[in-house]
Structure 1
Amino acid sequence: MTIMNSQTSTKRIIQVALFLVVGAIAPLLDTTMTNVALDTIMKSLNVSVNAIQWITTSYVLAMGIAVPVAGWASNWFNGKHLYLWALVVFLLGSIVSSWATTLPLLIVGRVIQGAAAGFIVPLITTLIVQVAGGNGLGKLMAIVGMPAVLIPILGPTVGGYLIQTLNWHWIFLINIPLVLISLVLLAWKMPSFPAVRRGKHLDIPSLVLLAGLFTSSIIGITRFSTGDSFTSLKVLTPLLLALAFLIGYVLYAFFLPQKALVSLQLFKSPTFDASAIILMLSGIAVNGAMFLLPLYLQNSRGLSVVWSGTYLIAQGIGLLVVRGQIGKLTDSIGARWVVLAAIAIAIVGTLPFVFFTAKTSTWLVLLTLFVRGIGQGGLTIPVMADSYTGVPQALVAEATTATRMLQNIGGAMGTAVLATIIQHELPKVGLTAAYQTAFLWSVGFIAVTAIPAWFLSHRKIAK
C-alpha cells in the first residue's frame, strides 16, 4: 500500500485502522485476563507476590525490547507480512503458556507473547500514521485505542469466568481460536503495506545496549524486593550496569547517528521529550496499578476472581465514556490541558484506594474505579498523538519505537516497583496497609507527570 493521496476518504483510512486493530484483540484480552488470574496462579504454583510479578514484568519487558526491532522492520519488510507473523508468534507463546505447570515455563511463554506484542502494537501506530500522513491523529489514535477501551470491560469478567469454571490455563488457551480467526480475516481483508526500503538497518549494538539498560534496571528493582538492601552489591551492580548501558547508548547514538536505532534528534522537540517522559511515568502508574488492582480486590476485599473482574468493568466504562471526546479535544486544543485535567482526575480516582478497607462501600469502590478510567483515557491518547507533533516523516518509525519502548519499560518497572513495595510492607503492616502504601506510590507517579505535561502542545480554541 502506498501513502494515500488527498482524494482518499477518511472512511477508507478508518477502515484500514479497524483492520489493524483486529489483530490487537488477542494480546490485549490476554493481558487483562492474566492480571485477574495472578492471585489464582500464585496459589496454584505456590509462589510469592515478588515471583508472580514476573508473569507481567517478563511480558512487558519482552515487549519493550522487541519494539526497536519492530521499528526497524517496519521500514524493510512488508507491514502486512510482519503483522501476520507477529500473530503467529503470539499464538506459539499462548500455547507454551497454556501448557505451563511451573513458573519458569510460564515466564518463557509470556516472553514469547510479549515479543510478539512488541511488534503488533507499534506496527498499528506506524502504519496508521503513514496512511493518514500525520493528519487528524487524535481521532485516529482514539480508533486504534478502541480495543484498549472495550477489552478491559470484557477481559476481566471473561477471564474470571474461565478461571472459576475451568482453570487458569484457559486464559491462554482461549487465544488460540481468537488468533486463528484474526489470521484468516487479516490475510483475506487487510491491505498490503509494501516495504519502503529506506531508513536504518538493524543495529545490533543499539539493540544490545537498550536491552541491557532495561533488563538490568528491572533485575535491580526485583532484587531489592527480595529483601536485599539498596546499597548491597546484588542491587547496586545491575543498577550501575543499567546506568553504564544508558551512557553507552547516548554516546553511541551521538557519534554514530546513522546507525543508532533511536535517533537523538527526536529529543530536540520539547513536545516529544514531554510525551516520552509522560509515557514512561504513566506506564509505571497505569500498568503498575493494573497489576495491583486485581490482587487488592481478591486479597484485601476477599472477592472471587469473577467478581474482581466484574468490579474492573467500571474502570473500562470510564475509559469508554471519554474516548471519543478526548481525541477531538486533542486535535482542537492540543494535548497540554487535556493531559493536565486527566492527571487530576486520575489522582481523584486512585487516591481513595489509599484509605479504602474491606468494609468500604462497594458503590464507592466502583465509582472510584469509574473515575480512574476517565483519567487513564486522558493519559494515553493525547500523549501518543502529541509525540508525533513536529516529527519529520522520516523519523515516524523511530518515534514510535522510542515512545512505545518507554511506555512498556515504564509498565515493567511499575509492576516491579509496586510488587517490591507490597513485599516490603507486608511483614510490617499487614495485607491491607501494604496495598494502601502501594496505591500511594502510584498516586505519586501520576502527580509527577504534571511537570512534563506542561511542555505538551497547546493552542487556542478557534472562534
Structure 2
Amino acid sequence: MSASGNSAPAAAPTDSDRIDPVVRRLALTVIVGALAAVFDTTIVSVAINDLARDLDAPLSTIQWVSTGYLLAMFVTIPIVGWAQAAAGGKRLWLGSLGFFLLGSVLCAAAWDAPSLIVFRIVQGVAAGIMMPLMSTLIMQAVRGRNIGRVMATISLPVALGPILGPVLGGLLLATGNWRLLFGVNILFCAVGGWLAFRNLPDDRPDGERGRLDAVGLLLLSPGAAALIYGLSQIPVTSGLGSRRVLVPLVAGLVLVAGFIGWALRRGSGALVNVRLLRHRSLAASSALLFLVGVTLYGAMLLLPLYWQQARGEDALGAGLLLIPQGIGSLLSRPLAGRWTDRVGPRWIAFAGFCVVGLATVPFAVAPDSPYPLLMAVLVVRGLGLGIATIPLASAAYLGMDHRDIPNASIIVLVTQQIGGSLGTAVLAMILQHAGSGARTPEALTRAFGTTFWWSVGFTAVAVPLCLLLPGRPKPLPDSEQSPSEVPARA
C-alpha cells in the first residue's frame, strides 16, 4: 500500500505533460478534414499553366482559380465565430466538410474556366470556415494545458501543405488529367467527415443565439477581401501605382478601419471582438504572425522562382528541392511545442527567428552556391520556421477565456494571411525591380540575391518584437486540468 501511495505523486507530473487522449483524438479528427483545404491550395498553385492550356483560357482568367478561392475564404472567415455560436462546432465542421466535398466534385466536373472559378469559390467558402474552426475546436478542448505541444499538432497540415502539395500536384499532372487535383480531396473529406461524426462532441447551443453583426460583416469581409485582392495584383501589374492595386487597397483600408472603430464600440457584440488585442500576448503574437506571413509566404513565392528562373529547374523539380525545408520544419515542431510549454514562447520564438534569418543569408550572399550546400541551408531554415511559428501561435491563446477563443482564432488567421499576401506582393515587386535590367543568368541570380536580402530584413524586424511575448508560463490550478487528469490527481 505504501509503495502505491508513493508512486502516485511521482506519476502525476509525467501525466500532466501528456496531451489528453480526448484532445489527441479530436485533433486527429479535424486535421484529416483540414488536409483537404490545405493541400487543395498548394496543389492547384502548380497547375495554373496546365489549366490555361487544357481549358483554352488566358492566364489572366485562370489566375482567378486561385484568386477567387482566396477571396471567398476571406469573405467567410469573419463569420465563423458567430456561426459556431449559432450552430455548434460539430455541426458547423460537418457542414463545411460537406460543402468542400461538393465544391471538389463540381471542380472535377468543370467544363470550362468560368465554371471552374465558380466552383473554386464554393471551396473557398468552405475553407474559410474550416481553417479558423480547426484551431478553435482544439484550443477550446485543451483548456490551457500543453498549448505548445497541441499547437505543434494543429499546425501539421500547414507544414505538410508546402512540402507535399507541389509534389503531389506535379505527380497528378504527370498523368495528364488535371481533374485528379480535385478528386483527391474526396478521400480527405469522406474520412474526415466520418471521424468528425464519431469523435466530435455534440456542442449544439441550448441558449439564446446572438445576433449577427450585419454592419461589421459588411465592413470587415469585403474590406479584408479587397486588401488581399489589391496585394495579389501587385506582382501582375506595374506596381503600387496601378489602379488595379490602389483602388482595392484604399477601399480595403477604409473598410477595415471603419470596422475597427465600429467593433471597439460594440465590444463582445462585434463580429470579431478586436478589444481582445488588449491582451499583450495576443497583440504581440498577431504582429509577429503578420511578419511570419511575410517571411514564410513571401519566401514560398521566392524560392520556387529562384529554382526555376535562376537554376533552370521545372515546376516539379522546384517542388522537390523545397522538401528539405519542409522536413526541417516537421522535425523541429514537436521540440518547439515541448519547450514552449516549459520555458514560455518568448525565447523560443526569438531563437527561431534568428535561425530563419541566418539560414536565408546564404541565398542572399551566394545564390549560385552548390546544391548540397543550399539543401543543408534549407533544412536549417525549416528548423527555424518550425521553432518560430509554434510559440507565436501558442502565445495567442494564453489567458483566453473559452468564449474568446473563436475571436482569437480569426484574428490570428487574418493577420497571418494578410502578412503572407503582403510579403508575396512586396518580394515580387522587389524581384521585378532588381531583375528588370537582367540580360544574363548571372545578373538574374544577383537579382534574386538582392531580394533574399530583403527577406532577411523582414525577419530581422521580428527578432526584437519576440521580447514582447510572455515568458515562462504559470502553472494552472487544478480546476483548469483536463477531464482525464483530474481523477488521477484526486
Using the alignment, how far apart are the partners of 2:86 and 2:280 within structure 1? 29
Using the alignment, how far apart are the partners of 1:167 and 1:422 within structure 2? 33
Letter of the 2:326 counterpart = G
Secondary structure of residue in 1 paired with 2:270: coil
CA shift at 1:12, angstroms? 2.1
Which residue pairs with 1:397 in the alignment?
A: 406
Deviations 1:87-145 (Å, cap 9, x if unpaired)? 12222333344455766554444433232122112212111122121222111111222
Checking the alignment, whether the CA contact within 8 Å between 2:19 and 2:149 is kept in structure 1 is no
2:383 is aligned with 1:374: yes
Length-normalised TM-score, structure 1: 0.86
Using the alignment, how far apart are the partners of 1:393 and 1:150 within structure 2? 28
Root-mean-square deviation over aligned CA pairs: 3.1
Structure 2: where are the runs of 5+ without partners?
Answer: 1-15, 476-490
Secondary structure of residue in 2 paired with 1:388: coil
Instruction: Quickly say closer, same or farther: Cα 1:421–1:149, change in 2 above 3 A.
Output: same
Letter of the 2:381 counterpart = R
Using the alignment, how far apart are the partners of 2:122 and 2:212 within structure 1? 20
Of 184-193 and 125-134, deviating more is 184-193
Which residue pairs with 2:466 in the alignment?
A: 453
| Paired residues for 1:226-305 under 5 Å | 226-228=236-238, 230-231=240-241, 235-305=245-315
Using the alignment, how far apart are the partners of 1:147 and 1:227 within structure 2? 32
Using the alignment, how far apart are the partners of 2:52 and 2:134 within structure 1? 33
Using the alignment, how far apart are the partners of 2:344 and 2:232 within structure 1? 38
2:401 is aligned with 1:388: no
Checking the alignment, whether the CA contact within 8 Å between 1:60 and 1:409 is kept in structure 2 is no
Using the alignment, how far apart are the partners of 1:287 and 1:51 within structure 2? 23
Using the alignment, how far apart are the partners of 1:52 and 1:290 within structure 2? 20
Which residue pairs with 1:3 in the alignment?
A: none
Which residue pairs with 1:440 in the alignment?
A: 453
Among 314, 323, 326, the residue aligned to 2:336: 326
Of 87-96 and 329-338, deviating more is 87-96
Letter of the 2:181 counterpart = I
CA shift at 1:54, angstroms? 5.3
Letter of the 1:262 counterpart = V
Instruction: Quickly say closer, same or farther: Cα 1:258–1:460, change in 2 above 3 A.
Output: closer
Using the alignment, how far apart are the partners of 2:165 and 2:358 within structure 1? 24
Letter of the 2:289 counterpart = L
Of 442-451 and 430-439, deviating more is 430-439
Letter of the 2:313 counterpart = L
Letter of the 2:471 counterpart = H
Which residue pairs with 2:135 in the alignment?
A: 125
Letter of the 1:265 counterpart = R
Letter of the 1:119 counterpart = I
Checking the alignment, whether the CA contact within 8 Å between 2:264 and 2:275 is kept in structure 1 is no
Among 82, 106, 116, the residue aligned to 1:72: 82
Of 437-446 and 111-120, deviating more is 437-446
Which residue pairs with 1:311 in the alignment?
A: 321
Which residue pairs with 2:180 in the alignment?
A: 170
Deviations 1:177-199 (Å, cap 9, x if unpaired)? 33223323433444433336578
Using the alignment, how far apart are the partners of 1:123 and 1:362 within structure 2? 40
Of 147-156 and 316-325, deviating more is 147-156
Instruction: Quickly say closer, same or farther: Cα 1:105–1:41, change in 2 above 3 A.
Output: same
Higher relative contact order (CA 8 A, sep 6+): 1
Using the alignment, how far apart are the partners of 2:20 and 2:209 within structure 1? 28
Letter of the 2:22 counterpart = R
Using the alignment, how far apart are the partners of 2:250 and 2:399 within structure 1? 34
Checking the alignment, whether the CA contact within 8 Å between 1:38 and 1:295 is kept in structure 2 is no
Secondary structure of residue in 2 paired with 1:349: helix
Instruction: Quickly say closer, same or farther: Cα 1:301–1:55, change in 2 above 3 A.
Output: farther
CA shift at 1:423, angstroms? 4.5
Using the alignment, how far apart are the partners of 2:65 and 2:362 within structure 1? 27
Using the alignment, how far apart are the partners of 1:75 and 1:349 within structure 2? 43
Instruction: Quickly say closer, same or farther: Cα 1:242–1:356, change in 2 above 3 A.
Output: same
Deviations 1:402-461 (Å, cap 9, x if unpaired)? 111212222233333334444555543365455444433333322222243221011289
Instruction: Quickly say closer, same or farther: Cα 1:15–1:184, change in 2 above 3 A.
Output: closer
Secondary structure of residue in 2 paired with 1:30: helix
Secondary structure of residue in 2 paired with 1:353: helix
Checking the alignment, whether the CA contact within 8 Å between 1:57 and 1:415 is kept in structure 2 is no
